[in-house]
Amino acid sequence: MLSRRHLLFIAKISLLFGSLLFSAPAWADRVVTDQIGRQVHIPDTVNSVVILQHQTLNIAVQLDAMDKVVGVLDEWKKQLSANYVRLVPQLPNLPMPGGLTKVNIEELLKLRPDVVFVTNYAPADMVKQIEDAGLPVVAISLLDVPPEEAVKLNPSVKDEPAAIDAGFAAGVRLIADVLGRKEKGEEMIAVTKKSRKLVADRVADIPEDKRLPVYMANPDLTTYGRGKYTGLMMERAGARNVANSISGFKQVTMEDVLKWNPAVIFVQERYPAVVSDIKKAAAWQTIDAVKNGRIYLMPEYAKAWGYPMPEAMALGELWMAKELYPERFKDIDMQKEADAYYKEFYRTDYRAAQ
């Protein structure tokens, strides 16, 4: 027969194991597959993250998950534009323990994040350094391509529409899942699909030889060719990307642009100086877009980036199509469209963000 002392000991052990069992969810982990094909163990509940990629940061803001963000990339102002702080006032006060291709591991560890988001082309040694410190790393590409291509800055993409649509949806779902915002992520995907169908239906009958030739002007004559969302954005808006002969994001020459002679030039909102540079420079004056005054600084929501952003797909393609073919979109009020989207995903209206 067990003594009273043994019974008390067994009771204490039972209570201890019961306590451990009860608290297990806080310790339990789950496995997610990131967008470069890696299986990553993350906590069952993620309470804090560091985001070292501006696309993921932009999506996290729209998912209303900034309460979980304890650190961001140091290039956020360059990549998102200085105006972005109007949508996220706390952004300048957040620690910046690294960037797209680098990390300060000591500063990162001070933040004690549950998960670190990085870009798909983050150097392998950077990812290893973070993982060796015991932190889960989730890579985001917003593109559905094989793992050997997914880690590249300019991956080879066979079927651009399929790769971008599938990669965007998978990326949003992964970010939303990690941040505990699954429902909001699905809402975001649904909004983009609805708007994209509207644009597709209205430009579907424009033959290839009638599509306006368009150039995306970035600083230092860099632009986007095949394999990047920007080219597909133009195509879906009913345009023809004059730089389609190049692959990825690259620098071109003035001779290239003169040869292409675009009818319309778009400039991303984050690079307003490019508009005035083009208007002033003598080399640009013979180009049709300049002669006809068709140089457009894109609004904040029309993010013509290499990666597909939700507001670009929900609003940007629509805005671009309306600028190119206004007669086909007379009934569309972009201010109303933008206000509705911003209220839903930025919790303000678009006027307040301007």
311 DSSP β-pair partners: none
Beta strands in the chain (DSSP E): 29-33, 39-43, 49-51, 69-72, 115-119, 137-140, 212-217, 222-224, 239-241, 249-251, 264-267, 295-297
pLDDT of 124 above 70: yes
Percent of the chain with pLDDT over 90: 83
Distance (Å, whole) CA 229 – CA 130: 29
6, part of any domain? no
186, part of any domain? no
Asked if residue 253 and residue 112 are part of one domain, the reply reads no
Question: What single DSSP character describes residue 282?
Answer: G
Give the domain extent around 309. 206-353
Total tally of structural domains belonging to the chain: 2
Task: Please give the full DSSP string across 246-275, using - where no structure is assigned.
Answer: SBSEEE--HHHHHHH--SEEEE-TT-THHH
Asked if residue 114 and residue 49 are part of one domain, the reply reads yes
The CATH number of the domain holding residue 52 is: 3.40.50.1980
pLDDT at position 312: 96
C-alpha dist (Å) from residue 181 to 6, 165, 169, 206: 49, 20, 14, 39
Chosen domain end from 128, 163, 180: 180
Here the tokens at position 197 are 């169908």
Asked if residue 170 and residue 73 are part of one domain, the reply reads yes
pLDDT in tens, 71-81: 999 999 999 98
Are 228 and 306 in contact, with CB atoms under 8 Å apart?
A: yes
Q: What are phi and psi of 73, to 5 degrees?
A: -70, 145
> pLDDT category, 349, cuts 50, 70, 90?
confident
pLDDT at position 18: 42
pLDDT in tens, 110-123: 999 999 999 999 99
12, part of any domain? no
Pairing mode of beta strands 295-297, 222-224: unpaired
| Pick from 183, 235, 245, 178: nearest CA to 211 | 235
Asked if residue 133 and residue 61 are part of one domain, the reply reads yes
Asked if residue 122 and residue 44 are part of one domain, the reply reads yes
Distance (Å, whole) CA 176 – CA 60: 8
Classify the C-alpha dihedral 175-190-348-275 as positive or negative.
positive
Asked if residue 125 and residue 37 are part of one domain, the reply reads yes
289, part of any domain? yes
15, part of any domain? no
> pLDDT category, 28, cuts 50, 70, 90?
low
Asked if residue 345 and residue 232 are part of one domain, the reply reads yes
Asked if residue 327 and residue 249 are part of one domain, the reply reads yes
319, part of any domain? yes
273, part of any domain? yes
Asked if residue 241 and residue 323 are part of one domain, the reply reads yes
Asked if residue 153 and residue 268 are part of one domain, the reply reads no
Asked if residue 133 and residue 36 are part of one domain, the reply reads yes
Asked if residue 172 and residue 95 are part of one domain, the reply reads yes
Task: Please give the full DSSP string across 155-169, using - where no structure is assigned.
Answer: ---SSHHHHHHHHHH
4, part of any domain? no
